[in-house]
Amino acid sequence: MRYLDQEAIEDIAVGAAFLGTGGGGDPYIGKMMALSAIKEFGPVKMVAPEEVADEDFFLPSAMMGAPSVLIEKFPKGDEFVRVFEKLGRYLGVENVAGTFPMEAGGVNSMIPIVVAASLKIPLVDCDGMGRAFPELQMTTFNLGGVSAAPMAITDEKGNIGIMETISNKWTERLARVQTVEMGASSLVSLYPSTGRQLKDHGIHNIVTFSEKIGQVIRSNEADEATKLNNLLELINGTQLFEGKIIDVIRRLEGGFNFGEATIEGLNQDLGSETNVFFQNENLIAEKDGVPMAMTPDLICMVDLETLMPVTTEALKYGKRVRVIALPCDEKWRTEEGIATVGPRYFGYDLDYVPLEEMLAQGGEAHV
Amino acid sequence: MRYLDQEAIEDIAVGAAFLGTGGGGDPYIGKMMALSAIKEFGPVKMVAPEEVADEDFFLPSAMMGAPSVLIEKFPKGDEFVRVFEKLGRYLGVENVAGTFPMEAGGVNSMIPIVVAASLKIPLVDCDGMGRAFPELQMTTFNLGGVSAAPMAITDEKGNIGIMETISNKWTERLARVQTVEMGASSLVSLYPSTGRQLKDHGIHNIVTFSEKIGQVIRSNEADEATKLNNLLELINGTQLFEGKIIDVIRRLEGGFNFGEATIEGLNQDLGSETNVFFQNENLIAEKDGVPMAMTPDLICMVDLETLMPVTTEALKYGKRVRVIALPCDEKWRTEEGIATVGPRYFGYDLDYVPLEEMLAQGGEAHV
């Protein structure tokens, strides 16, 4: 158990945006919301999943929809608490024992901090993805058989709803169409979970891991190479490519930001091109047409010099970036995990090959 | 107070389908559902709005979406009761005192009879339209300031949701996208109302009126002209046209059945053409390009010989029909009523002219 101060929050926002693999929201917006909440309500206590009681009851709070929209449709701030409290009341739970993030991301790591500060409840150091994914059923809780519903959904205007569904896929479908109608983004609370379920199905220590990543990225280390090495060592990751963005194609569809970034090589990769395909989150990285890394492994873009994470909505012509990959949590590397978030689910005609294997084979994918 | 028997139900289904102006569902499907419910649970008690206590609490139950879909996606039967009970529980009402139809229509007049029979509660003889309309905010309750939300929505698969919204228009928007996702039709309970609100904002005696219309249409009167005159006299209506359908254009869009029927004149109208434009319900009737009747006045199509109502999904080439119009309830003929359900709301560049005025002017509309 420990308290999160301003420094910790700034580190978490940056580290979570890195693990957000392009999605999960902008860390600057996220950080500002969380800092303003702890300034108003006091610091937030964070507990490890091992520290919570099995029978206690926890609810997450998150943003759903296209991250690009949030920049223009800034939350009023009361939506997170409203949707969280609505679900608690609907479930008839007197005392919700704490909250937790559903995914990594610059905003989605911070919303639970706002809720925890406002309601003076602890934040649990776990999430349901260990990264970010675009759809509601893409969680390790889902793989563990936890229901996403009952789920609450609200918007910044004050509309609010509850859903109970026959499957987590149906929760996604019905929440998605409402999110689109609400203006392509909404605030949600879902996957109501016991302490036991957090222990069994959550990705543990993800907030602390985000914080450590943020510490490295935000460190004063002057030497670029040393800083990069520190980051890669911490995350057990690899730099796939460095270059300059020469094209970004995007479309907002069904409440998602779909797109593709083309990066032209610098220095030793001169003449090479890397393409990163995304749906809110980066899903596939190809070099000269050959897959190098694929979902559910993490594909993160960072600024070439500062290593600050670059979200998909911030991709633009001329930006110089590094493409970094790291292995996903082992929970995703099961048959059901790959069926839920592997390349074929997203429409790519590729069998999943774990990142380590791909690198050992020199980047050749099985098509 | 009286009980509805099989005869009454058959008359109501037919008369309500007539008042449904093409929408509100097929009377045969509706009748079968209601007859099966009274066979299983016993007869249904019907009370006049004047007979209910002001402070008692009532909920309607209805089908939402494209009527054409219902024919293929036949309800299991428990959806109506489930959505009704869900809303009651959500509102914390111990005893819901009764139910009522939200609109006329072959199915939407019968669903409340199924609910009343199943739960042994009375049916109140009123509705919120005095006809049928395609959208949720198109009710006299809305004009009276009653909120459509909290609202419950479900499908035949078992998904169920609750909405609380900032306006009845938002209830429509959020319910519509869920209805589309559920397969273009859903079951809903909304406009929770007190007895006082039913008295003040409901259209009184609509079930009895439907029954009387059904009695005329289903009577054994052998002479066609006499039967037609009896019907027109009862409803204070006019026959606008008689002819053969020579073209039907339709599209399913946004959970609505949109379309246009072209009818070629018979006998004295030889050479003339009438076009009826619909969105679930018939909205505009034009003869040789000149408007003859327009929403919110009722435009009803019936079989040329039997006078049985023809719903928009049953329109087909070669069918011989009469187009009959009658004035809407006075509640619709206010500025707010016309803004809510007048021709301009539906995208027609026409000022509303009451049917009586239109007929007096010989069918000339102000464009």
Tell me the CATH number at A318: 2.40.390.10
So what's the pLDDT on residue A69?
A: 65
For residue A15, name the pLDDT band (cuts at 50, 70, 90).
Answer: very high
Q: Are residues A170 and A230 in the same domain?
A: no
Token pair of A242, please? 């460095």
For residue A364, name the pLDDT band (cuts at 50, 70, 90).
Answer: very low
Q: Is the CB of residue A183 less than 8 Å away from at least one CB of chain B?
A: no
Chain B residues with CB-CB distance to A170 below 8 A = 157, 159
Token pair of B264, please? 């070629």
Chain B residues with CB-CB distance to A166 below 8 A = 157-159
The whole-chain average pLDDT of chain A stands at: 94
Chain B residues with CB-CB distance to A160 below 8 A = 163-165
- Average pLDDT rounded to a whole number, residues A333-345: 97
Q: Is the CB of residue B89 less than 8 Å away from at least one CB of chain A?
A: no
Q: What is the pLDDT of residues A88-133, one digit of tens each?
A: 999 999 899 999 999 999 999 999 999 999 999 999 999 999 999 9
So what's the pLDDT on residue B366?
A: 41
Q: What is the pLDDT of residues B138-148, one digit of tens each?
A: 999 999 999 99
Q: What is the pLDDT of residues B152-166, one digit of tens each?
A: 999 999 999 999 999
Helices A224-235 and A206-218: crossing angle in degrees, nearest 10, is 170
Q: Is the CB of residue A179 less than 8 Å away from at least one CB of chain B?
A: no
Q: At which of B151, B181, B206 does a domain end?
A: B206
- Average pLDDT rounded to a whole number, residues B36-57: 96
pLDDT of A156 strictly over 80: yes
Q: Is the CB of residue B162 less than 8 Å away from at least one CB of chain A?
A: yes
Residue B160: which of A157, A164, A176 has the nearest Cβ?
A: A164
Is the CB of B177 less than 8 angstroms away from the CB of A173?
A: no
> Which has the closest alpha carbon to A235: A15, A25, A17?
A15
Pick the residue with more confidence: B256 or A248?
A248
Is the CB of B162 less than 8 angstroms away from the CB of A162?
A: yes
Inter-residue contact B232 to B359 (CB < 8 Å): no
Judged by DSSP in three states, A69 sits in: helix
So what's the pLDDT on residue A71?
A: 61
Place of tokens 């993805």: A129
Q: What is the pLDDT of residues B307-341, one digit of tens each?
A: 999 999 899 999 999 999 999 999 999 999 999 99
In a domain, A280, yes or no: yes
Is the CB of B164 less than 8 angstroms away from the CB of A164?
A: no
To test the contact with chain A by mutation, choose from B78, B170, B179, B186 the residue with the greatest count of A C-beta atoms within 10 A, namely B170
So what's the pLDDT on residue B367?
A: 39
Q: Is the CB of residue B173 less than 8 Å away from at least one CB of chain A?
A: yes
Q: Are residues A114 and A185 in the same domain?
A: yes
Q: Is the CB of residue A160 less than 8 Å away from at least one CB of chain B?
A: yes
Amino acid present at A310? V
In a domain, A214, yes or no: no
So what's the pLDDT on residue B364?
A: 46
So what's the pLDDT on residue A261?
A: 97
B42: left (phi over 0), alpha (psi -120 to 50) or beta: left
Q: What is the pLDDT of residues A275-288, one digit of tens each?
A: 999 999 999 999 99
Is the CB of B159 less than 8 angstroms away from the CB of A180?
A: no
Is the CB of B178 less than 8 angstroms away from the CB of A178?
A: yes
Q: Are residues A247 and A140 in the same domain?
A: no
So what's the pLDDT on residue B73?
A: 63
In a domain, A212, yes or no: no
In a domain, B213, yes or no: no
**Torsion (CA) A131, A133, A137, A138 in degrees, nearest 10:** -50
For residue A367, name the pLDDT band (cuts at 50, 70, 90).
Answer: very low
H or E element, residue A356:
helix A355-360
Q: Are residues A303 and A193 in the same domain?
A: no
pLDDT of B67 strictly over 80: no
Chain A residues with CB-CB distance to B136 below 8 A = none
Domain count, chain B: 2
Q: Are residues B142 and B65 in the same domain?
A: yes
Q: Is the CB of residue B76 less than 8 Å away from at least one CB of chain A?
A: no
Q: Picking from A157-171, A259-273, A328-342, which range would have the lowest pLDDT averaged per residue?
A: A259-273
The whole-chain average pLDDT of chain B stands at: 94
Q: What are phi and psi of A141, to 5 degrees?
A: -65, -45
- DSSP-assigned letter for residue A105: S
So what's the pLDDT on residue B92?
A: 94
In a domain, B73, yes or no: yes
For residue A366, name the pLDDT band (cuts at 50, 70, 90).
Answer: very low
In a domain, A146, yes or no: yes
CATH code (residue B16):
3.40.1610.10
In a domain, A211, yes or no: no
Inter-residue contact A249 to A260 (CB < 8 Å): yes
Q: Are residues A121 and A233 in the same domain?
A: no
Upstream peptide bond of B296 is cis (omega within 30 degrees of 0): yes
What is d(CA B139, CA B104) in angstroms, rounded to the nearest whole number?
12
Inter-residue contact A101 to A111 (CB < 8 Å): yes
What is d(CA A268, CA A98) in angstroms, rounded to the nearest whole number?
50
pLDDT of A363 strictly over 90: no
Q: Are residues A279 and A328 in the same domain?
A: yes
Q: Are residues B181 and B289 in the same domain?
A: no
Q: At which of B206, B240, B270 does a domain end?
A: B206
Inter-residue contact A221 to A230 (CB < 8 Å): yes
> Which pTM was predicted?
0.91
- Average pLDDT rounded to a whole number, residues B72-90: 85
Is the CB of A159 less than 8 angstroms away from the CB of B166?
A: yes
B150, closest residue in chain A (CA to CA): A161
Q: Are residues A164 and A300 in the same domain?
A: no
Q: At which of B160, B179, B206 does a domain end?
A: B206
B171, closest residue in chain A (CA to CA): A159
Chain A residues with CB-CB distance to B174 below 8 A = 159, 161, 178, 181-182
So what's the pLDDT on residue A78?
A: 85
Is the CB of A164 less than 8 angstroms away from the CB of B163?
A: no
What is d(CA B176, CA B186) in angstroms, rounded to the nearest whole number?
9
Q: Is the CB of residue B53 less than 8 Å away from at least one CB of chain A?
A: no
Chain A residues with CB-CB distance to B161 below 8 A = 161-164, 174
Q: What is the pLDDT of residues B206-249, one digit of tens each?
A: 999 999 999 999 999 889 899 999 999 999 999 999 999 999 99
H or E element, residue B209:
helix B206-218
Domain holding B246, by residue range, is 221-363
Q: Are residues A151 and A262 in the same domain?
A: no
So what's the pLDDT on residue A72?
A: 62
Q: What are phi and psi of A231, to 5 degrees?
A: -65, -50
In a domain, A216, yes or no: no
Q: How close, in Å, is residue B18 to chain A by CA atoms? A: 34
So what's the pLDDT on residue B70?
A: 64
So what's the pLDDT on residue A287?
A: 94
Q: Are residues B196 and B266 in the same domain?
A: no
Residue B174: which of A166, A173, A181 has the nearest Cβ?
A: A181
Chain A residues with CB-CB distance to B163 below 8 A = 159-161
Q: Are residues B24 and B171 in the same domain?
A: yes
Chain A residues with CB-CB distance to B158 below 8 A = 165-166
Q: What is the pLDDT of residues A37-91, one digit of tens each?
A: 999 999 999 999 999 999 999 999 999 988 766 666 666 678 999 999 999 999 9
- Average pLDDT rounded to a whole number, residues A239-268: 91
Q: Is the CB of residue A42 less than 8 Å away from at least one CB of chain B?
A: no
Place of tokens 């395609």: B134
